Amino acid sequence: MAHIHLEDGALSPIWVLFWWAVAAALIAFALYSMRREPASVKRLTVGAMCAAVGIAAFMVTIPVFGVHLNLTPLIGILAGPAVGGIAVLVINLFSAAVGHGGWGVIGVNVVINLIEVMVGYYAYRSLKGSLRIGRFASGFSAATMALVASAIIVVVIIAVAGIQDSHLEEEETAHNLVFIAAANLIMGVIEGFITAYILTFIGKVKPDLLVEVERPRKDSEEAQPSSS
């Protein structure tokens, strides 16, 4: 799904440093959140498994369109935004190490994937937990919303930052960006169905993994021990 497959040197040093700074700030906030509310062993285990599955998903690219499954909204739903954020950092570091994009785009890709993780988590929590919409519909809607949002953000980032040493005319660049957006949007819908089916299966065989994210927000707050 949304992922900037550019080699080192495609983005100017200023943009590379900017996105690395944003990514570092978000990861630091995720670590701070985990320190304030330590993640359970189960959640950390799920996060590690999600990272492994995410790395495998990143490696399988559709040759025609150059897109792939991310499963980042699913990672957010299962592991939560904090642990999920660490998972996508690991995924992007490993991907760059094996040549799936340059080291210079790790920062921007971490930011994009974190957006997918957070939108997926909070959208699913609102739809399934608060509004009591069905698991399949909630999973499909949450994943699709997250991936559509990231697909649009990818196009905006490339359009604003530009690509260094590109010999394409503005019209050709715009045409390519539209094609990338369309491919990502279609893949987003497909991944939305896949995410929904996976969540439905997990809900049948391992429902305890979804208890926290599917609990209504009010009930979740009441379940936490009082600090007084």
| pTM score of the predicted model | 0.88
Asked if residue 1 has pLDDT above 50, the reply is no
DSSP 3-state of 64: coil
- Contacts for 59-62: CB closer than 8 Å, 24+ residues apart: 59/95, 59/98, 59/100, 62/187
Q: Name the burial class of residue 46, with classes exposed (0-12), middle (13-18) and buried (19+) by CB atoms within 10 angstroms of its CB.
A: buried
What are the tens digits of pLDDT across the range 70-103? 899 999 999 999 999 999 999 999 988 887 777 8
**Cα–Cα distance for residue pair 146/76, rounded to 1 Å:** 10
What are the tens digits of pLDDT across the range 118-155? 999 999 999 998 999 999 999 999 999 999 999 888 88
**Cα–Cα distance for residue pair 177/154, rounded to 1 Å:** 9
**Cα–Cα distance for residue pair 110/132, rounded to 1 Å:** 31
What are the tens digits of pLDDT across the range 186-205? 888 999 999 999 999 999 99
Q: Residue 38: left if φ>0, alpha if ψ -120 to 50, beta else—which one? A: beta
- Residue 146's nearest CA partner among 68, 78, 76 is 76
DSSP 3-state of 69: coil
The whole-number pLDDT of residue 154 equals: 85
Enumerate the β-bridge partners of residue 67. 62
Where do the structural domains in the chain lie, given as residue ranges?
A: 13-210
Sole residue written with tokens 């715009």: 174
Name the fold adopted by 13-210. Answer: Arp2/3 complex 21 kDa subunit ARPC3 (1.10.1760)
- The two counts, helices (H) then strands (E), for the chain are 8, 2
Asked if residue 64 has pLDDT above 60, the reply is no
